[in-house]
Amino acid sequence: MEAAEGGAAAGEAPQTDVEGRPGARASPRRDGGGRAPDLALRVTRALIVVNPAAGGGRTARAWRRLRALVDATLPAEHAETRGPGDGERLAREAAVAGAPLVVAVGGDGTLNEVVNGVRAAGGRMPVGAVLTGRGRDACRNFGVPRDPSAAVRALVDGRDRSFDLGRAEWADGRRR
């Protein structure tokens, strides 16, 4: 799945070779203060953002089973959220650092935070989803496999889809 605002965006190919070794990659972009975020020092591959609290703890249990599959198939760093806004922050930092892909592991809210983080960084990079929450509405809306293991395998297949993003603003100034 690819985050795109205002229309379809060209997908970027992962910046690793077939065996997951880092290939040529752009130097990390800097934040407004001229210094790369701390995460930029670590992220050279995809970033998996895991929300262990999603689905009433269901994601923590699913991640214990999925981690070996992810590690065997997708060259990636892992980071867990600890509270609201962490998914957005982690995704934004990964986008600024030039990560080739950010994957949300959790519920629809986790995916929402990750997409918002990539968008806030001005990124037009692929965003993946392995949904383990209760509702999994994004599975129906975006064609993500409901089975988390199948979703991981779909990420490895690397088929991008572009989606338009929207933002609503209420009369009181709230945005979403």
Q: What DSSP line would sit under the chain, residue for residue?
A: -EEEESS--PPPPPSB-TTS-B---PPPPP-TTSS--GGGGT-SSEEEEE-TTGGGGHHHHHHHHHHHHHHHH--EEEEE--STTHHHHHHHHHHHHT-S-EEEEE-HHHHHHHHHHHHHTT---BEEEEE-SS--HHHHHHT--SSHHHHHHHHHHT---EEEE---B-TTS-B-
> Annotated catalytic residue: which of 17, 108, 157, 160?
108
For this structure, is 17 an active site residue?
no
Contact assessment for residue 30 and residue 95, using Cβ atoms and an 8 Å cutoff: no
Active site (catalytic) residues: 108
